[in-house]
Amino acid sequence: MFRKILIANRGEIACRVMRTAHRLGAATVAVYSEADANAMHVAMADEAVLIGPPPVQESYLLMDRIIEAAKRTRAEAIHPGYGFLSENAAFAEACAAAGIVFIGPPASAIRAMGEKAAAKALMVAAQVPVVPGYHGDDQDDAVLTRAADDIGYPVLIKAVMGGGGKGMRQVNEAGKFAAALKGARREGLSSFGDDKVLVEKYLERPRHIEIQVFADQQGEVVHLFERDCSVQRRHQKVLEEAPAPGMSASMRRAMGDAAVAAAKAIGYVGAGTVEFIADVSADSNNGLSEDAFYFMEMNTRLQVEHPVTEMITGQDLVEWQLRVAAGEPLPLSQDELTINGHAVEARIYSENPQKKFLPATGTLHRLRSPAEGPHVRVDTGVREGDEVSMFYDPMIAKLIVWDRDRPSALRRLVDALERYEIAGVITNVNFLAAVAAHPAFADGDLETGFIDKYRDDLVPPPGPIPDLALALACLDLLLARQGNTAPADPHSPWGKVDGWRLNDRGHDELCFVGGDEAEIVVKVHYPGSGGFLLDLPGGEMPANGEIDDGGTLWADLDGLRVSAAVVHDGDKVTILSGGRAYRIERVDRMALRDVDIEAGGKVIAPLPGKIVQVQVEAGATVKKGDALLTLEAMKMEHTITAPRDAVIATIPFGAGEQVAEGAELVMFVAEGD
């Protein structure tokens, strides 16, 4: 076994590899970009080497820098994780040339599978079934068009160097072929530097089923069964499970044999995944049929979803990788491998299901995972307070559950998802829970179009904020005002405790924006018996409670005890309760929205006071209504908002400074500059 290994990656996979390395007694070296100086993978490693600025082209993709780091720290081997340099044949060669073991397959095997068309030709020769189609060298428009006609529409055009769903075009009729071809070539060229394509039959009801293979340097090859990764959005996986629902023992054998043949055909070593597409138009076994699965591609690395295989086989695949790379034989033979129970992985992303799953960035103001144990595993590379930046993958964590059978595993998954508490970024947690609880998913009625097919159930349009969440938001605010707790952010209007007693008045009004509503006003009454009486959209609700030291709100809502985490981010608040996250914004009625505060490209102080918070920086682009700074005057806080869309030039004052009426608080960049 190696004494020291370097992990040429970041995030959860770097942490995952280090855990096994440490367990096996190997020291670890992390590499990191400037953006990751405080990242979890750096903290976990025994040593860490800075390799460059945040963009991956200037850090995590720099082969020479990484090899240099390995030499400097005397690491004997490099684990590439997934993504980045993991399927880069030149990197595998560069490692070998530097006398460092690349923990992965030989460069020749990476090259053989790197190009989709050549890989398909190799597979045909090895008698592995492939999707009917054209994968020749002749890229003439006429040749490709004729191939599409012969295959029969619909067809799929794929950039041969493609990956991650890029450079793919589905074409449903001959008239649209030429335009789609252009698009696939353009994307292939810009993303992968190659405009060569292949054309194949587009399967209308496919399932994505892949086989985990492992080979040692002695020439032994085994498979560790299948994973079903049919639930995808934007052709990318979000939920994976093992074993595949409806898989018969004989089909498993046939697919396993095909995958082992594929690995043998290219002299494979280490962990690999052979991806198949199964046509599920048959009406038994959840559509699976032994003569309708086809080779799609082979990923010559460890996959994101490898933990589900680990959970059903009881093996540590990273340990297998390290042992094989060190020259040891495979730990188990095919006969010794068995499937135990069922595992599902959900990828928790910082993304917005409402907006076509577009990635979102932000700070993880709160990140609490469900408790880990024999049934629940969490693989993550971030901690509470960390940033989900624009530079890297927006995956927050992988949640993996295991149980005796699929229905029990799905129950575990829903329960674990409901225990997740994330605030600060929009996530797909509620969406994942909706998939896990969906009757069609429970039936194993899977196909890659699952999300689109059930979109209305899975991504419902935002409705009104439920009374329960509103009540929790009000209670949090009212309790903070009473001084029951010290808010984390002393400048937050949620935590304003500015001396005036609400109880002196008959009632008060709290105003919010959230859900699909522009303004929600909740009247608060103060019954003599204590607590509050909230006048919510659905009726009156007596409410009381307390906030504990851990920031958890314990509420009594008309006799119902509920707990919630309430996370503040300026005027925005996230209520996490009962497995759901509600984002609400407190509207500060004191905001000086209507006062004329702009004069000649400058925002001036409408009244004398003290600046308590500056919310923007020079250079920032603001929209009309965005908060610029908060001014405390006459024992009240006033939010100064942008009178129009603008770019900030300078802000002469900082928090804590006293300003006179008419002081120039913010200068805008002159239009046209």
Q: Catalytic residue positions?
A: 301
Asked whether the beta carbons of 515 and 462 are under 8 A apart, the reply is yes
**Residue with the CB atom nearest ligand ADP in the bound state:** 448
Find the shortest distance in angstroms from Cβ 11 to ligand ADP: 20
Give the strand pairing for 206-215 and 236-242.
unpaired
Q: State the DSSP H helix or E strand holding residue 143, giving kind and residue range, or none if neither.
A: helix 141-151
Asked whether the beta carbons of 434 and 457 are under 8 A apart, the reply is yes
Find the shortest distance in angstroms from Cβ 332 to ligand ADP: 28
Of 208 and 568, the one with the shorter C-beta distance to ligand ADP is 208
Per-residue b/e over 554-567, b at no fewer than 16 CB within 10 Å? ebebeeeeeebbbb
**Distance between CA atoms of residues 659 and 614, nearest Å:** 13
Give residues in contact with ligand ADP (CB under 6 A): 131, 156, 158, 162-166, 168, 200-203, 206, 208, 232, 235, 275, 277, 296-297, 448
Residues whose CB is less than 8 angstroms from the CB of residue 89 and which lie 6 or more positions away in sequence, other chains included: 107, 108, 110, 111, 114
Find the shortest distance in angstroms from Cβ 156 to ligand ADP: 5
| Helix, strand or coil, per DSSP, at residue 666 | strand
Asked whether the beta carbons of 151 and 199 are under 8 A apart, the reply is yes
**Distance between CA atoms of residues 196 and 115, nearest Å:** 10
Question: In sequence order, what are the beta bridge partners of 50?
Answer: 32
Of 302 and 597, the one with the shorter C-beta distance to ligand ADP is 302
Find the shortest distance in angstroms from Cβ 196 to ligand ADP: 14
Give the strand pairing for 206-215 and 221-233.
antiparallel
Q: Evaluate the omega torsion of the peptide bond into residue 374 and state whether it is cis, within 30 degrees of 0.
A: no
Of 279 and 571, the one with the shorter C-beta distance to ligand ADP is 279
Of 135 and 572, the one with the shorter C-beta distance to ligand ADP is 135
DSSP label at residue 105 = -
Of 163 and 570, the one with the shorter C-beta distance to ligand ADP is 163
Find the shortest distance in angstroms from Cβ 230 to ligand ADP: 7
Find the shortest distance in angstroms from Cβ 294 to ligand ADP: 8
Q: What angle do CA 485, 486, 487 make, to 5 degrees?
A: 110
Residues counted in the chain: 673
Whose tokens are 């880990």? That residue is 372
Find the shortest distance in angstroms from Cβ 280 to ligand ADP: 11
**Distance between CA atoms of residues 8 and 10, nearest Å:** 7
DSSP label at residue 374 = S
Among 31, 32, 29, 57, residue whose Cα is nearest residue 45 = 29
**Distance between CA atoms of residues 501 and 481, nearest Å:** 9
Find the shortest distance in angstroms from Cβ 46 to ligand ADP: 35
Of 158 and 185, the one with the shorter C-beta distance to ligand ADP is 158
**Distance between CA atoms of residues 513 and 447, nearest Å:** 38
Asked whether the beta carbons of 362 and 424 are under 8 A apart, the reply is yes
Of 208 and 481, the one with the shorter C-beta distance to ligand ADP is 208
**Distance between CA atoms of residues 604 and 414, nearest Å:** 52
| Torsional class of 623: left (φ above 0), alpha (ψ -120 to 50), beta (otherwise) | beta
Quote the radius of gyration of the chain (alpha carbons, Å).
29
> Tokens in use for 229?
């990764």
Find the shortest distance in angstroms from Cβ 383 to ligand ADP: 30
**Distance between CA atoms of residues 28 and 25, nearest Å:** 10
**Distance between CA atoms of residues 210 and 259, nearest Å:** 9
Find the shortest distance in angstroms from Cβ 298 to ligand ADP: 10
